[in-house]
Amino acid sequence: MTFEHRWQPMLRGCAQPLIGGDETVGAGLGSNVGLLIAPLVREWVCLEPDASLAEQIRVGIIEGRLPEVCRVQVGTIATIGSTELFDTILYIDVLEHIDDDSGEVRRAAHRLADNGYLVILAPAYQALFSAFDASVGHFRRYSRRQLEALAPPGMRQVGYRMLDSCGLLASLANRLLLHQSEPSHAQITFWNDWLVRLSRVIDPLTRYSFGKTIVMVWHRSDPRRPPIALNS
Protein backbone atom coordinates (compact mmCIF):
# COMPACT_ATOMS: atom_id res chain seq x y z
CA MET A 1 0.00 0.00 0.00
CA THR A 2 2.96 2.33 -0.36
CA PHE A 3 1.27 4.13 -3.26
CA GLU A 4 -1.53 5.52 -1.07
CA HIS A 5 -0.44 9.09 -1.61
CA ARG A 6 -3.87 10.66 -1.08
CA TRP A 7 -3.89 9.38 2.50
CA GLN A 8 -0.52 10.87 3.35
CA PRO A 9 -1.52 14.58 3.54
CA MET A 10 -4.07 13.67 6.21
CA LEU A 11 -1.30 12.06 8.24
CA ARG A 12 1.10 14.94 7.64
CA GLY A 13 -1.45 17.49 8.82
CA CYS A 14 -1.76 15.66 12.15
CA ALA A 15 1.81 14.71 12.93
CA GLN A 16 4.26 17.06 11.24
CA PRO A 17 3.58 20.11 13.49
CA LEU A 18 4.76 18.00 16.45
CA ILE A 19 8.02 16.85 14.90
CA GLY A 20 11.27 18.67 15.49
CA GLY A 21 14.41 18.78 17.58
CA ASP A 22 17.29 16.42 18.01
CA GLU A 23 15.88 12.96 17.48
CA THR A 24 12.70 11.36 16.26
CA VAL A 25 11.81 7.67 16.18
CA GLY A 26 9.85 6.07 13.35
CA ALA A 27 10.45 3.09 11.09
CA GLY A 28 8.78 0.51 8.89
CA LEU A 29 10.21 0.75 5.39
CA GLY A 30 10.73 4.46 5.85
CA SER A 31 7.79 5.31 3.57
CA ASN A 32 6.51 8.02 5.93
CA VAL A 33 9.88 9.60 6.71
CA GLY A 34 10.05 11.88 3.70
CA LEU A 35 6.43 12.84 4.26
CA LEU A 36 6.73 13.74 7.94
CA ILE A 37 10.25 14.98 8.44
CA ALA A 38 10.34 18.67 9.36
CA PRO A 39 13.09 21.27 8.83
CA LEU A 40 13.92 21.41 12.55
CA VAL A 41 14.75 17.70 12.75
CA ARG A 42 18.46 17.21 13.28
CA GLU A 43 18.31 13.43 13.52
CA TRP A 44 15.59 10.93 12.70
CA VAL A 45 16.11 7.48 14.17
CA CYS A 46 14.46 4.73 12.13
CA LEU A 47 13.93 2.02 14.73
CA GLU A 48 13.11 -1.33 13.14
CA PRO A 49 13.30 -4.81 14.76
CA ASP A 50 13.52 -6.64 11.42
CA ALA A 51 17.12 -6.53 10.17
CA SER A 52 16.14 -7.05 6.52
CA LEU A 53 13.69 -4.13 6.61
CA ALA A 54 16.25 -2.00 8.40
CA GLU A 55 18.72 -2.74 5.61
CA GLN A 56 16.21 -1.50 3.04
CA ILE A 57 15.94 1.77 4.96
CA ARG A 58 19.73 2.01 5.10
CA VAL A 59 19.94 1.55 1.33
CA GLY A 60 17.31 4.24 0.89
CA ILE A 61 19.47 6.69 2.86
CA ILE A 62 22.59 5.80 0.89
CA GLU A 63 20.76 6.18 -2.42
CA GLY A 64 19.28 9.53 -1.39
CA ARG A 65 15.65 8.41 -1.30
CA LEU A 66 15.56 9.21 2.42
CA PRO A 67 17.04 12.30 4.11
CA GLU A 68 20.66 12.27 5.29
CA VAL A 69 19.57 13.07 8.86
CA CYS A 70 18.12 9.55 9.13
CA ARG A 71 19.89 6.91 11.20
CA VAL A 72 18.85 3.25 11.22
CA GLN A 73 18.86 1.22 14.41
CA VAL A 74 17.84 -2.43 14.59
CA GLY A 75 15.81 -3.11 17.71
CA THR A 76 12.80 -1.92 19.68
CA ILE A 77 12.12 0.85 22.15
CA ALA A 78 13.11 -1.60 24.90
CA THR A 79 16.61 -2.05 23.44
CA ILE A 80 17.47 1.63 23.03
CA GLY A 81 20.15 2.88 25.40
CA SER A 82 18.72 4.28 28.61
CA THR A 83 20.47 7.61 28.09
CA GLU A 84 18.90 8.28 24.66
CA LEU A 85 15.99 10.71 24.78
CA PHE A 86 13.79 11.83 21.90
CA ASP A 87 11.74 14.94 21.17
CA THR A 88 9.05 12.98 19.34
CA ILE A 89 8.21 9.30 19.20
CA LEU A 90 5.87 8.09 16.48
CA TYR A 91 3.85 4.90 16.32
CA ILE A 92 2.19 4.89 12.89
CA ASP A 93 0.14 1.71 12.45
CA VAL A 94 2.48 -0.09 14.87
CA LEU A 95 0.91 -0.31 18.34
CA GLU A 96 -1.87 -2.64 17.21
CA HIS A 97 0.85 -5.18 16.28
CA ILE A 98 2.27 -5.27 19.83
CA ASP A 99 0.68 -7.60 22.37
CA ASP A 100 1.83 -5.65 25.44
CA ASP A 101 0.73 -2.22 24.21
CA SER A 102 0.55 -0.75 27.72
CA GLY A 103 4.15 -1.70 28.47
CA GLU A 104 5.25 -0.40 25.07
CA VAL A 105 3.69 3.01 25.69
CA ARG A 106 5.30 3.25 29.15
CA ARG A 107 8.71 2.40 27.71
CA ALA A 108 8.28 5.00 24.99
CA ALA A 109 7.33 7.66 27.55
CA HIS A 110 10.56 6.96 29.45
CA ARG A 111 12.51 7.77 26.27
CA LEU A 112 10.94 11.21 25.82
CA ALA A 113 12.77 14.43 26.61
CA ASP A 114 11.03 17.25 28.47
CA ASN A 115 8.40 18.88 26.27
CA GLY A 116 8.42 15.75 24.07
CA TYR A 117 5.50 14.26 22.20
CA LEU A 118 4.25 10.70 21.84
CA VAL A 119 2.09 10.33 18.72
CA ILE A 120 0.02 7.18 18.12
CA LEU A 121 -1.94 6.43 14.95
CA ALA A 122 -3.85 3.16 14.89
CA PRO A 123 -6.94 1.48 13.38
CA ALA A 124 -10.17 2.41 15.14
CA TYR A 125 -13.09 0.44 16.60
CA GLN A 126 -12.64 -3.14 17.79
CA ALA A 127 -16.08 -3.91 16.34
CA LEU A 128 -14.48 -3.55 12.91
CA PHE A 129 -11.82 -6.20 13.63
CA SER A 130 -11.84 -8.40 10.53
CA ALA A 131 -10.03 -11.22 8.79
CA PHE A 132 -7.77 -8.58 7.27
CA ASP A 133 -6.69 -7.38 10.75
CA ALA A 134 -5.88 -10.93 11.78
CA SER A 135 -3.97 -11.62 8.55
CA VAL A 136 -1.63 -8.65 9.05
CA GLY A 137 -0.93 -9.42 12.70
CA HIS A 138 -3.19 -6.98 14.52
CA PHE A 139 -3.98 -7.82 18.13
CA ARG A 140 -6.71 -5.21 18.35
CA ARG A 141 -8.26 -2.00 17.06
CA TYR A 142 -8.73 1.00 19.36
CA SER A 143 -11.43 3.24 20.73
CA ARG A 144 -10.70 6.60 22.29
CA ARG A 145 -11.29 5.13 25.74
CA GLN A 146 -8.87 2.27 25.12
CA LEU A 147 -6.08 4.61 24.05
CA GLU A 148 -6.73 6.99 26.92
CA ALA A 149 -6.39 4.05 29.30
CA LEU A 150 -2.80 3.66 28.08
CA ALA A 151 -1.88 7.21 29.14
CA PRO A 152 1.69 7.12 30.51
CA PRO A 153 2.31 8.57 33.99
CA GLY A 154 3.54 12.15 33.93
CA MET A 155 2.10 12.92 30.52
CA ARG A 156 -1.09 14.59 29.39
CA GLN A 157 -3.21 14.16 26.33
CA VAL A 158 -3.09 17.21 24.05
CA GLY A 159 -4.58 15.88 20.84
CA TYR A 160 -7.16 13.46 19.54
CA ARG A 161 -8.96 13.01 16.25
CA MET A 162 -10.48 10.41 13.98
CA LEU A 163 -9.49 10.25 10.31
CA ASP A 164 -10.94 8.76 7.12
CA SER A 165 -14.68 8.84 7.76
CA CYS A 166 -15.45 7.36 4.34
CA GLY A 167 -12.87 4.61 4.79
CA LEU A 168 -14.81 3.66 7.92
CA LEU A 169 -17.71 2.62 5.69
CA ALA A 170 -15.40 0.44 3.59
CA SER A 171 -14.04 -1.25 6.72
CA LEU A 172 -17.58 -1.82 7.96
CA ALA A 173 -18.53 -3.42 4.64
CA ASN A 174 -15.57 -5.77 4.84
CA ARG A 175 -16.38 -6.69 8.42
CA LEU A 176 -20.08 -7.40 7.78
CA LEU A 177 -20.21 -8.54 4.17
CA LEU A 178 -16.94 -9.30 2.39
CA HIS A 179 -14.88 -10.96 5.16
CA GLN A 180 -11.71 -10.49 3.10
CA SER A 181 -8.29 -11.18 4.56
CA GLU A 182 -6.67 -8.99 1.91
CA PRO A 183 -8.13 -6.13 -0.18
CA SER A 184 -7.86 -6.33 -3.94
CA HIS A 185 -5.81 -3.84 -5.93
CA ALA A 186 -9.04 -2.38 -7.33
CA GLN A 187 -10.42 -1.87 -3.82
CA ILE A 188 -7.26 -0.13 -2.64
CA THR A 189 -7.31 2.09 -5.72
CA PHE A 190 -10.97 3.01 -5.14
CA TRP A 191 -10.24 3.82 -1.51
CA ASN A 192 -7.18 5.87 -2.41
CA ASP A 193 -8.68 7.76 -5.36
CA TRP A 194 -12.19 8.37 -4.07
CA LEU A 195 -12.83 7.55 -0.41
CA VAL A 196 -9.74 9.31 0.96
CA ARG A 197 -10.45 12.32 -1.24
CA LEU A 198 -14.00 12.51 0.16
CA SER A 199 -12.74 11.99 3.71
CA ARG A 200 -10.41 14.97 3.40
CA VAL A 201 -13.53 17.09 2.79
CA ILE A 202 -15.89 15.42 5.24
CA ASP A 203 -13.56 14.87 8.22
CA PRO A 204 -13.22 18.60 9.07
CA LEU A 205 -16.99 19.06 8.70
CA THR A 206 -17.58 16.34 11.29
CA ARG A 207 -14.86 17.84 13.53
CA TYR A 208 -12.88 14.61 13.13
CA SER A 209 -15.44 12.79 15.27
CA PHE A 210 -15.40 9.43 13.48
CA GLY A 211 -13.24 7.49 11.03
CA LYS A 212 -11.38 4.22 10.52
CA THR A 213 -8.16 5.63 12.01
CA ILE A 214 -7.58 7.15 15.43
CA VAL A 215 -4.78 9.58 16.32
CA MET A 216 -3.80 10.48 19.88
CA VAL A 217 -1.00 12.72 21.14
CA TRP A 218 0.50 12.91 24.62
CA HIS A 219 2.88 15.62 25.83
CA ARG A 220 5.55 15.55 28.53
CA SER A 221 5.04 18.95 30.09
CA ASP A 222 7.86 21.43 30.44
CA PRO A 223 6.68 24.67 32.12
CA ARG A 224 9.28 26.64 30.17
CA ARG A 225 7.65 25.88 26.81
CA PRO A 226 3.98 25.64 25.79
CA PRO A 227 2.79 22.46 24.05
CA ILE A 228 1.74 22.32 20.42
CA ALA A 229 -1.79 20.93 20.52
CA LEU A 230 -3.32 18.79 17.79
CA ASN A 231 -6.53 20.53 16.75
CA SER A 232 -9.62 18.44 17.43
pLDDT digits (tens, 9 = 90+) for 124-180: 999 889 888 888 899 999 999 999 999 988 899 998 999 999 988 888 877 776 666
Please list the helix, strand and coil fractions of the chain in percent, rounded to the nearest 5, in that order.
40, 25, 40
DSSP 49: S
Tell me the residue type at 208.
Answer: Y
What is the per-residue pLDDT for 41?
A: 80
What is the per-residue pLDDT for 98?
A: 93
Tell me the residue type at 164.
Answer: D
Flag whether pLDDT at 4 surpasses 60.
no
CA proximity to 158, closest of 95, 88, 98, 99:
88
Q: What is the pLDDT of residues 52-98, one digit of tens each?
A: 888 988 998 999 888 888 888 898 999 888 788 998 898 988 999 99
The CATH number corresponding to 8-123+137-163+213-219 among 3.40.50.150, 3.40.50.920, 2.40.40.20, 3.40.50.620 equals: 3.40.50.150
pLDDT band (50, 70, 90) for residue 42: confident
What is the per-residue pLDDT for 21?
A: 66
d(CA 86, CA 109): 10
Flag whether pLDDT at 12 surpasses 50.
yes
Flag whether pLDDT at 1 surpasses 60.
no
Distance of CA 207 to the CA centre of its chain: 20
